[in-house]
Structure 1
């Protein structure tokens, strides 16, 4: 950085303006602020390096009649990819379109309308902000987010706290995403040789966080990222997005672009599920490129985590999956350790897994 440049002050000034990157984009800026510029080692490999056609696509239309086949497909995708896209998932297209439209409408409001929701306080029921890890990361990313902790958090969102422009759609999406996640979790559990209801019994779908991301037009997309490479910390993530590409998934040593399919929902495995499955399922790195399109990229993410920890206060690989031939490869960990690892730094990949691996 140039002499006299005060990064901390510039970040603080941006945050206190509550303008977000959407506001900067709407101002017609031609250069991004310096604290959004990423180091050369991050920028050097942002292009897709794979000719692969994409992540596995799984049709759930015959989830009952073809269940063994679908269980096998999902098990294989979770073991080898950590990502897959589900079609015929039971959610009407009108709901998908309305949810995307409502989040887009929220982000396209005037700055003063959004600013009253802008707050930077982890654990709040509803929070609108730019870069959840703005003060913890080495470089900011080009996205804004509306977050709602819709269930089982220290301060869960009240429906009346969700901005009116998208309130109905957020509440409705929570219900639909939960049904999809529970159906997929049942298949994932069966893929481990467990009962279909095992993950629901363990409250793996009871703690949910809704996040509506907006990736507006970026005038210098080669200098920054939409979201840097990371793995998700929880059980599974359900992703709904509009038709503007940007998501990339790491598969082996390659990065590949993920093409959103009409009516499709993307599911990915989180670090927590990798741990409790004793490494049978894999969380994998993914990232989002800065948006070079004039239209904003909208993505709606629902993170699922367990609500009730075991009575001992510790969690570890599920005992049902352990044998003398396949002993635990991760040690016990606590909720406090889990939370401190996530909130104590910027986004990263598998840092908790690395810490607790035996």
Structure 2
């Protein structure tokens, strides 16, 4: 077992304070020519391991090879718009299988033009590569703001290593007025991309409902996909990528996340105890089940841990996560009654999403 890093808390506290006061983000460190990682970004070696299996299982090369050779699910939505009921049934079955076993899957032929996807990637990169004094206008640790630029969420303490990542966060994107607060350099691209996301969400809402054996309009009636927010991530080139992470392992809090990643790679999903690389697919969207969907499906659909490891690269990584959740923060959500039976009793209590979010200071 790898030994843990010895943390100099006083040094990290000084680094964190100076970092926030600079309002320059991680990109600011790169621009300043940093060649060694500040200690606040160094992660314990055990967090960087390639699996979470016990050591004896991790040493079983045949077992690891078998898991890593599994085909990551790719679902073609072309059949959604055809008159073939068989094509739709096939998509529904593929979604059910992927949601139950992986919690993640790639979506291709989803309806968002490639030009729109590439456009928002370019625009997000352009924002993050603005001069520091321009980006500083949006830098804020006030996460109640509709739009803010920051480098790590929550209360970073000296005991918690930071991720090597900057983020432009855009909230309440179901409200047209929210777009006016987005930086002009990427505003139109975000708006156009979100119009495409709306079409994908409509399809997935029906397909997920049918995959659960419910009427196609069931999930739409619960309003669980009505709210949209976006995190536009930028992972600068890192001088020591083997010592840090772009995103610590976590699950997502809402109902569903739709992720657009570029060709750099680095996203990994924990599957059967092993971290599996999610291969970039040009023009694809990644769908991942989030915590609230695991709750309402009584564990049938899985919200799984994922993370971002950093690659030695000459290009920064861009990823754009669209989080889907309810616009009724006072509504209780629990296991769907129609899914429960004598042999499938509820394993989760009801959750009020607004209160759930406050626990995580969102």
CA–CA distance in 2 between the matches of 1:4 and 1:42? 19
Which of 95, 102, 106 is the aligned partner of 2:116? 95
Maintained 8 Å contact 2:51/2:273: no
Tell me the TM-score normalised to structure 1 length: 0.89
CA deviation map 1:13-71 (0-9, x unaligned):
10110111111112221101101111122133389965325420011111142101100
Residue 286 of structure 1 is matched in structure 2 by 306
Provide the TM-score with structure 2 as the length reference.
0.88
> Is the contact between residue 54 and residue 256 of structure 1 (CA under 8 Å) also seen in structure 2?
no
Q: Give the corresponding residue for 1:33.
A: 38
Once the two structures are superposed, residues 235-281 of structure 1 have per-residue CA deviations (whole angstroms, 9 ceiling, x without a partner) of 11000111111100111111111111111110000010000011110
1:185 aligns with 2:205: yes
Which of 151, 158, 181 is the matching residue for 2:173? Answer: 151
Contact 1:125 1:157 (8 Å CA) reproduced? no
**Structure 2, unaligned stretches of length 5 or more?**
1-5, 53-57, 59-63
> Residue 255 in 1 paired to residue 291 in 2?
no
Contact preservation (8 Å) 1:236, 1:273:
yes
Match of 1:167 in 2: 187
Residue 129 of structure 2 corresponds to residue 124 of structure 1: no
Determine the C-alpha separation between the residues in 1 that align with 2:110 and 2:208.
15
CA deviations on 1:124-150 (whole Å, 9 max, x unpaired) are 100111112352571100000001003
Tell me, in whole angstroms, the C-alpha distance in 2 between the residues paired with 1:194 and 1:23: 50
Instruction: Name the CA distance, whole Å, in 1 between partners of 2:308 and 2:187.
Output: 26
CA offsets per residue over residues 91-116 of structure 1, 9 Å max, x none?
Answer: 11110110111101111111111111
Q: Unaligned stretches of 5+ in structure 1?
A: 345-358
Q: Distance in 1 between matches of 2:74 and 2:309?
A: 22
Task: Check the 8 A contact 1:216/1:291 in 2, yes or no.
Answer: no
Is 1:341 matched with 2:332? no
1:356 is matched with: none
After TM superposition, list the pairs within 5 Å mapping 1:279-318 onto structure 2: 279-309=299-329, 313-318=331-336
- Residue in 1 aligned with 2:161? 139
Q: CA RMSD in A?
A: 2.2
Query: Could you tell me how far 1:171 is from its partner in structure 2?
Result: 1.2
C-alpha distance in structure 1 between counterparts of 2:329 and 2:131, whole Å = 42
Instruction: Give the structure with the larger helix fraction.
Output: 2
Confirm or deny that 1:86 pairs with 2:104.
Answer: no
Q: Which moved more, 1:31-40 or 1:128-137?
A: 128-137
Residue 243 of structure 1 corresponds to which residue in structure 2?
263
